[in-house]
Structure 1
């Protein structure tokens, strides 16, 4: 939720942000109108309350013969006050709905446009010449991650579909061990950087899911358990954001940092026919997510710090990657700025998103009522998130590290955890 005071003081900046996102700037005017209505109703209510209090003193001091008539008037005034309170509640609810319809205000420097209007900030690492190395199949194509994994008996999508349906899978043998090693590496990296490790719930209440902004335009991608009125999270960001809801935090010593390990669930609505082979786009996966509560003045620095940790993971694994500054129209409703890290996918000759990090400024904290105390009282904190590893990283690892004989060379951090430098085909 955006700051109503900032909206009153500078509505044009919010309109411009909506336009840059490709969202409706008229939502700003609707919120301003609702704010005027709320203030008018509050003033009317307070006037009636004042009259009621003054009249109560008149009734108390009146002669016995006059009290019956005055009590009747007091009853009418009381009814008017109650009706005014109902009106105040109604206009407050309308203001809340109007404010929630406005996305977070994008930061200066964020590229305008949609999904294809990102800006490439840098490319890191060397892309291998697989054809020159003879790492191709009979058709002359680079084997994809599923072909490599099936040779290692690391992924079983056929039985995953038999048990659970399309876009489900089993990680088996070295596949399961490889994921565990990858996620443990991510958790160790976060811990060494000052993040508190967390194993988080994967079912959350509606107010927590809504507070993080995931029940907006992409609500159809979220699994809901209607019988329990709970939602399955698509990222531990949701549970971590809710961890300090309705609290006042002490940020005297700097940001509060957490690293959540959880299973994640996404319906992948609207992705029919996209990445149906293998485990690029699936309904269930595991992830290690960084999350920080910070002073808004420190948020941009904290954002760059998270990006550096993500890049450090990619470099430790030897994956060629690029960093992009995501355009305003491709940001989620909560993010004011987002960077994506994309690894090279040899089999498809394209970049594949592996991680992202978002600065949500005070947007989520306002919804979840998370504040810190300063010289001028309490105020909302900033929230930030960033991914250190997911199951999808196995796709890039298997494809970029495959050899002509079907084996996969492991980068040192994973080799140390699995006790071998090479995964050989079975």
Structure 2
């Protein structure tokens, strides 16, 4: 959430920054007008309350001197009615203010490229060379079916579209992938966490999913619980409404969890395969940092995600998202895109973002600076390290063989009891 005082004192600059994120200036002018009305009402309310106190004192004085207090009583009743009306108007204005503030996206960092959509994203670097196959390659969904390790038909029968069963070596491969990821992140100083897979509405608000993106989630009927869309939500809210000791920063968390997404607005997109499911596993990285260090931490986090792809031998590229393609809470985001040969393109497999103090203000996550003793908002960062299903898809496609088998990347073999290949069943 943005700081209202900062908007007030830097209105023109912020209006320009938010216009690059698709926010119409009329919305900001409405916010500015409401803020002015609120501040004016606060002055009127305080003045009326002071006058009411004076009238109350006059009534007491009149009673002590056995004088008629009716005039003072009449004045106090009038003031009480005014104060009640002011309070009512103030509550209405503050509700409108909060509604606008809650739905304003974060301000982009100064070095984020300005653009309207993904076509304006900027490639930063590439790693690995896509393999040249000398046979007709298959998409991962066909490979998974042929190897009998991915069962879409029964997933659809048991639950619905965009659900599946992993079977046998497919289930082992999925488990090997996320265990490998967690072990690698632990080496980099991340504390492994097993979080709740349901959170309350306050937690969804804290990270920015609520209220704006409520339709993208799965809420449990007749309860305050929501199935998590990513482990970012419980991990970031771990310190909600707390004050950390500055000397303990930065804090690194990692977790593997299922992620549940309704995929609202994605009808017809990636209806086959592991790219866009309603339920999938993801390994998440979350950091809590002092503001002056957060962009160094973003570079490290992105490198941590890249490390996984490098060790798996999967070609990828890194892009920095433009203002029109960034997530709601992000100030800057790097996307990692893995090469999928059957699609002949790179597809997103990780997003690493610095939200600066946007989430921290919503969730009231602060730290006491040991340098001056002041309590300040910290910066939060989050990144996929990586999306597990998409990693499995990339392995199946990049490591497929002409005989229909799939080679297991060497780093995963210890997690699969030495299995080096998933063969076609005779």
Structure-1-length-normalised TM-score: 0.93
Q: Residue 3 of structure 1 corresponds to which residue in structure 2?
A: 3
Determine the structure 2 residue equivalent to 1:40. Answer: 40
Structure 1, residues 8-40: CA drift from partner, whole Å, max 9, x if none? Answer: 221122112222223313222222112111111
* 1:133-178 Cα deviation digits (max 9, x unpaired): x3x2xxxxx1111222223321100100111111110011111111
Q: Is the 8 A contact 1:152 1:174 kept in 2?
A: no
Q: Tell me the equivalent position of 1:139.
A: none
Shift of 1:314: 0.6
Q: CA RMSD in A?
A: 1.8
- In structure 1, stretches of 5+ residues that fail to align are 137-141
- Work out the CA distance in 2 between the residues paired with 1:103 and 1:360: 10
Q: Distance in 2 between matches of 1:297 and 1:46?
A: 39
Q: Secondary structure at the match of 1:64?
A: coil
> Is the Cα–Cα contact under 8 Å of residues 59 and 67 in structure 1 kept in the other structure?
yes
Equivalent of 1:387 in 384, 387, 399: 384
1:258 aligns with 2:260: no
2:411 aligned residue: 413
Q: 1:188 aligns with which of 178, 183, 186?
A: 183
Q: For residue 115 of structure 1, report the CA deviation from its aligned partner.
A: 1.6
CA apart distance, 1:217: 5.3
Q: What is the correspondence of 1:227-266 to structure 2 with a 5 Å cutoff?
A: 227-266=222-261
- Aligned with 2:324: secondary structure? helix
Q: Which runs of 4+ in 1 moved over 6 A?
A: none
Gaps of 5+ in 2: none
Paired residue secondary structure (2:87): helix
Does 338-347 or 77-86 show the bigger shift?
Answer: 77-86
Residues 267-290 of structure 1 show CA distances to partners (whole Å, capped at 9, x for unaligned) of 112222222222221110111111
CA distance in 2, matches of 1:52, 1:249: 42
Q: Which moved more, 1:79-88 or 1:237-246?
A: 79-88
Q: Does 1:130 align with 2:116?
A: no
TM-score, scaled to structure 2: 0.93
Q: 3-state SS of the aligned residue for 1:199?
A: coil
CA distance in 1, matches of 2:25, 2:374: 32
Quote the offset at 1:188 in angstroms.
1.5
Measure the CA separation in 2 of the matches of 1:54 and 1:292. 53
Alpha-carbon separation, structure 2, partners of 1:194 and 1:48: 57
Query: Is the alpha carbon distance of 1:412 and 1:64 closer, same or farther for their aligned partners in structure 2, counting shifts above 3 Å?
Result: farther
Which whole-Å deviations, capped at 9, do the CAs of 1:368-418 have from their partners, x for residues lacking one? 222222337322221110011222210001111111122222222211111
Between 53-62 and 405-414, report the one with greater CA deviation: 53-62
In the alignment, the residues of structure 2 paired with residue 247 and residue 178 of structure 1 have an alpha-carbon distance, to the nearest angstrom, of 39
- Corresponding residue for residue 121 of structure 1: 124
Structure 2 SS opposite 1:341: strand
Indicate the larger mover: 200-209 or 387-396.
200-209
Q: SS where residue 330 of structure 1 aligns?
A: coil
Is the 1:154–1:172 Cα contact (8 Å) retained in structure 2? yes
Match of 1:25 in 2: 25
CA contact (8 A) 1:28 1:102 kept: no
1:97 Cα deviation from its structure 2 partner: 1.6
Paired with 1:213 and 1:406, the residues of 2 have a C-alpha distance of: 44
Report deviation, 1:108.
1.1
Instruction: Supply the distance in 2 between the matched residues of 1:313 and 1:217 (Cα, whole angstroms).
Output: 32
Q: How many residues align?
A: 418
1:353, CA displacement in angstroms?
A: 0.7
2:355 corresponds in structure 1 to 360
